[in-house]
Structure 1
């Protein structure tokens, strides 16, 4: 399993761009899942890095979590409204694992409250998904070209330059 911590070690540039764009958008990302009919679904989500894991958790009973329960594959894209992508862009790919550990849930809820004031302490999680990352990419505009950085587990980062 490639946790967030392992990903940051293997792909520091991609992780930095993802983190910067994630923060710049107020933690908002777009989550791609597969609907029951096989078509893609795009949903807003606010993933969090917690205890070395990328947590994809949220409001219970939503269709995006039903999608992930049925098919754990996902794509997570940093939100942007900049058509020039001047601050970069990042996508993460992987599968989710449902972590049923109530102690981790309680620590996560406390950290969320401490960071944002949003209080879900004491509530049960329907799903507490942890990302197992299987790939990632970024796009950066560099004066007269694009740098596309691609990462796969165990292969490090490679840059493709487009003019």
Structure 2
């Protein structure tokens, strides 16, 4: 499921996620190395044309990881200090490299990335928001494709 389909199914959670990712430029991407161990790296993301895009420098290890195994996890930058203004947002899914010239040209026109670059389109498998409510509850909002989002409150 792409970002547009998720946004249609869960507009409030999608808006919150976009706001969290929009609050800072750099976020944390987790990919899988050849041996299956995790790799975390910084990354800029873009929400354009109903898609969540991941752009990367040529032959970066994270790009090579995704070419080999498309599974990823992405965490919004929590910002400075103790506050997670808007909550913590994590997105999991699969990323597939886009090499189609028109699609890449449209991305370049909008984003103006340094070239050359790798461009990945994402398919979502999970979106999770964690926040504190009323200074008392830890609240988790969890969405997975084909299921309504569910909310868990813990004291």
Q: TM-score, normalised on structure 1?
A: 0.87
Q: Does 1:136 align with 2:135?
A: no
Distance, in Å, in 2 between the alignment partners of 1:83 and 1:22 is 17
Length, aligned pairs only: 153
Aligned partner of residue 6 in structure 1, secondary structure: helix
**2:98 corresponding residue in structure 1:** 99
**1:15 corresponding residue in structure 2:** 14
- Match among 62, 69, 74 for residue 71 of structure 1: 69
Give unmatched runs, 5+ long, in structure 1: none
**1:157 corresponding residue in structure 2:** 149
Post-superposition shift, 1:13? 3.0
Post-superposition shift, 1:160? 0.4
**2:24 corresponding residue in structure 1:** 25
Post-superposition shift, 1:84? 4.3
Post-superposition shift, 1:58? 1.7
Give unmatched runs, 5+ long, in structure 2: none
Q: Does 1:62 align with 2:60?
A: yes
Distance, in Å, in 2 between the alignment partners of 1:12 and 1:157 is 11
Distance, in Å, in 1 between the alignment partners of 2:97 and 2:30 is 17
- Match among 33, 49, 52 for residue 51 of structure 1: 49
Is the 1:30–1:45 contact (alpha carbons within 8 Å) kept by the matching residues of 2?
A: yes
Post-superposition shift, 1:136? 1.1
Post-superposition shift, 1:87? 2.7
Distance, in Å, in 1 between the alignment partners of 2:22 and 2:84 is 15
**1 or 2 for the larger relative contact order (CA 8 Å, sep ≥6)?**
1
